[in-house]
Structures are given as C-alpha cells and as structure tokens.
C-alpha cells in the first residue's frame, strides 16, 4: 500500500525519512520518534495542519513538544509554517520535499487543500515576478497563492439551500456582543 505524501508525492518509498534525518543532522538535531511522528502526520495529510489537527491525530504528544518540534523542523528546512486567513498557523512539509503548490482555502469550513499549478500558469507567474523585480527594487524569491472559495462539500450544502447564506468559518471577525 502506498501512501500519498502531498501533491505530486515527489519522494518515493522511504527516502523521505532519510532526507529529514540528514537535514536534522546538519542542524545537530536527532530524528526522534516524536519528530518522526510529526513528519509522518504532515506527509500523510497532504494539506497544511493546524496545531488542533495535530493534537487530534496525535493525542499523546504534548502541545509544547509539538510546537517545539515544529520550530526545530522549520530551522532544519523540513517544515514550513503558513499563516492562514483565520490568524492561526498551519504547518506543512517544505516545498522542496513535496512539490511547489498552492492552497484552496474554503471560507465556509476553513479547510485548506493543496493544488499543483499547471506549468503554463507557473510560467505566467514567473514572468510576472520578473517584472516586479525591475519596477520597485523588490527581489522575490518565493510566492504564495491562496484561492478563496467554497470546497465541494460546502458547495453542495449551499446549493441544497434556497438561500445562499451559509455560516462562514474563516474570515469573519468576532463582532459585537
């Protein structure tokens, strides 16, 4: 049985753990069972995980340890921290371990999905980024594209109702009491 490790699943077999171990060694860190559990979670999720997601799927891991592991894995270049629209961080494997991808953010249920861009689009993206370097003196070395909308599930729920209104989960601020 093969397990999907994210979009594209670049690293076949178990080279993933070897690669992670090597990067940790570079940072004088050990690849312990807690860290391995986290990497497995992130690899099998295929989309960025919140600390809540992690706590659900690894109930025995203390939150302080999870946070610290994530920091260490970031510093080793294994994990990337992404700021979602709701102000909470999500965590995913670094793109050079999985593959460059974008995010579909459902503004109703808050779920974040990975999607791999078409080569044509990335080409347009690159020429656009090149044009930015010239005009403003800004030198880009990465980009992040989030597509906001309704996922398939929430879409069905919405069209099932007469009124187009569904409770939104993500961008709505707190409001007045």
**CA distance linking residue 112 with residue 90, whole number of Å:** 9
For tokens 């860190």, what's the residue?
29
Exposure class string for 52-76: b at 16+ Cβ within 10 A, else e: ebbeeebeebeeeebeebbebbeeb
DSSP 165: -
Residue 114 interacts with which of Zn ion, DNA, Mn ion, none, CB < 5 to 8 Å by class:
none
Binding range to Mn ion, per CB under 5 A, among 19-27, 36-44, 116-124, 163-171:
116-124
Q: Which of 41, 51, 94, 129 binds DNA (CB under 7 A)?
A: 51
| Beta carbon of residue 139, minimum distance to DNA (angstroms, whole number) | 26
Chain residues that interact with a second copy, rule: CB under 8 A: 68, 70-72, 74-75, 81, 83-87, 89, 104, 106, 113, 115, 117-118, 120-121, 124-125, 127-129, 131-132, 136-152, 155, 171, 173-176
């Amino acid at each position: 049985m093969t397990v999907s490790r994210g979009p594209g699943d670049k690293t076949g077999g178990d080279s993933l753990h070897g690669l992670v171990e090597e990067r940790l060694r570079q940072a004088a860190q050990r690849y312990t069972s807690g860290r391995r559990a986290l990497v497995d979670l992130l690899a099998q999720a295929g989309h960025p995980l919140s600390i809540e997601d992690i706590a659900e799927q690894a109930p025995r891991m203390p939150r302080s340890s999870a946070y610290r592991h994530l920091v260490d894995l970031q510093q080793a270049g294994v994990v990337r921290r992404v700021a979602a629209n709701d102000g909470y961080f999500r965590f995913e494997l670094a793109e050079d371990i999985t593959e460059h991808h974008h995010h579909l953010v459902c503004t109703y249920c808050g779920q974040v999905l990975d999607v791999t861009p078409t080569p044509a689009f990335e080409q347009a993206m690159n020429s656009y980024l090149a044009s930015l370097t010239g005009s403003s003196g800004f030198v880009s070395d990465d980009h992040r594209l989030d597509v906001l909308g309704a996922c398939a599930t929430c879409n069905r729920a919405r069209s099932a109702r007469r009124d187009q209104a569904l409770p939104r989960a993500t961008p709505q601020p707190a409001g007045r009491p």
